[in-house]
Amino acid sequence: MKRSNLLPIRLLREIKPRVLWSFIRGAGINNMIAFRKFKQRLDQELRFPPIVFISVTQRCNLSCKGCWATGVAKPQDMDPSLLDKIIRECATQDVRFFGLLGGEPLLLPWLPDFMKGHPNAYFQLFTNGRFLDAAMAQKLAEAGNVTPLISIEGVGASYQARRGENDMYTSALEALDHCSKAGLVTGVATSVSASNFKDTVTPDFISAMIAHGAHYIWYYIYRPSGPNPGFEEVLTDHQVRDLHAFILEQRKCVKSAVIIDAYWDEEGRARCPAAAGINLHINAMGDVEPCPPVQCSDCHIGLNDDLVENVEQSLLLTVFQSKVPTLTSGCVLMDHPYELASMSNLCDAIDSSGRGTFFAELASRPVCGCHNHSGELLPETTWFYRMMKKTLFLGFGSYG
């Protein structure tokens, strides 16, 4: 691979200096500081995490199978004042990196200006890309402190043949192109399922995303949730292991983009970031949850509530972080749904899905495999990823 295609050279060539510095400071330096402070808090038996995910709306223009953010009769948006409060109170704990989810966050017209108004925070914007046109990409570039993470599913070797058949793929890639032209650090997220495995777990997929301007590619494992879970899309244990091996192999040969996972540490051991206390999720109503698809809560944040105090006092978070590692190194929602229901009941947690059906969904879930695959460990083999796994949640993660 030519030197000009190395990621650092790409970033210097493609990203505006102000935007690049904001990324280095927000996603790099400040994140490292946040993890150092997090480890200091752990020594004091305090658990406020270094990364906070926030769903700013329950509304979405799509209704995808397996999505936890569907099936809400009267979807709500987060009040900008509440989002402002969360951002400011997190800063008191040196937390300045936020994942903004939905629904679809770009349905909120005030969001780009909100992010621009918080220059000391950094935002990773999870979006399906339908509203990320050239004008929106320019607004995000003007804000400077945001990296769009565009969901693109199943656009692998067969992309050219499917381009005219699936507008969802086309729209997402057009959004990626707009971000590239606007000079944004941009990522692609793909949820690997049984039906798209052959399209996404291939070098052609990575090459296509880089060609459209992606600087990082984040692989997820499909987690069936919501009213239309699609359990038939769950990966087999063999597929999960193949995905893990594929990611490691591509990290050795792909130098023009970063390939991210949030599942395995530098030695290849499976980890749950929520169970490790690395992150939590706040939904659009202000309910604090262990992670986005685990839609139960015993902690609510309103304009008059103390976020940090409430999180520290949450019994559910305490029990989740102590109990889940004794059950699994994978995803408790996937492989221990009944035990998750028991934990929630023990903590008097409420259904925070907005559907009122989360506990019924838990009761009817089959036990599914997840990222804690069988076989020998598959350790990181490149120094860069080993270093990043140890020092920074770049899977987005350090597990201590």
Instruction: Report d(CA 343, CA 337) in Å as an integer.
Output: 10
Q: Is 336 a member of any domain?
A: no
Q: Is 79 a member of any domain?
A: yes
Query: In this predicted model, what pLDDT tens digit does every residue of 112-160 receive, in sequence order?
Result: 999 999 999 999 999 999 999 999 999 999 999 999 999 987 544 344 4
Instruction: Report d(CA 230, CA 35) in Å as an integer.
Output: 36
Q: State which H helix or E strand residue 124 sits in.
A: strand 122-127
The total number of structural domains in the chain stands at: 1
Q: What is the pLDDT of residue 74?
A: 95
Q: What is the pLDDT of residue 115?
A: 98
Q: Provide the residue-wise pLDDT of the chain in tens; the chain has 400 residues.
A: 333 489 999 999 999 999 999 999 999 999 989 999 999 999 999 999 999 999 999 999 998 899 999 999 999 999 999 999 999 999 999 999 999 999 999 999 999 999 999 999 999 999 999 999 999 999 999 999 999 999 987 544 344 444 444 577 888 999 999 999 999 999 999 999 999 999 999 999 999 999 999 999 999 999 999 999 999 999 999 999 999 999 999 999 999 999 999 899 999 999 999 999 999 999 999 999 999 999 999 999 999 999 999 999 999 999 999 999 999 999 999 999 999 999 999 999 999 999 999 999 999 999 999 999 999 999 999 999 998 887 764 433 333 3
Domain that holds residue 56: 3-273+372-391
Q: Is 12 a member of any domain?
A: yes
pTM of this prediction? 0.94
Burial 297-336, CB ≥16 within 10 A → b, else e: bbbebeeeeebeebbbebebbebbbebbeeebbbbbbbbb
Q: Is 236 a member of any domain?
A: yes
Q: Is 315 a member of any domain?
A: no
- Judge whether 145 and 124 are in contact, CB under 8 Å: no
* 59 Cα distance to chain centroid: 18
Q: Is 282 a member of any domain?
A: no
Nearest Cα residue to 61 out of 52, 53, 70: 70
Q: Is 82 a member of any domain?
A: yes
Q: Is 329 a member of any domain?
A: no
Instruction: Report d(CA 330, CA 340) in Å as an integer.
Output: 13
Report the CATH number that the domain containing residue 62 is assigned in CATH: 3.20.20.70
Nearest Cα residue to 7 out of 394, 399, 397: 394
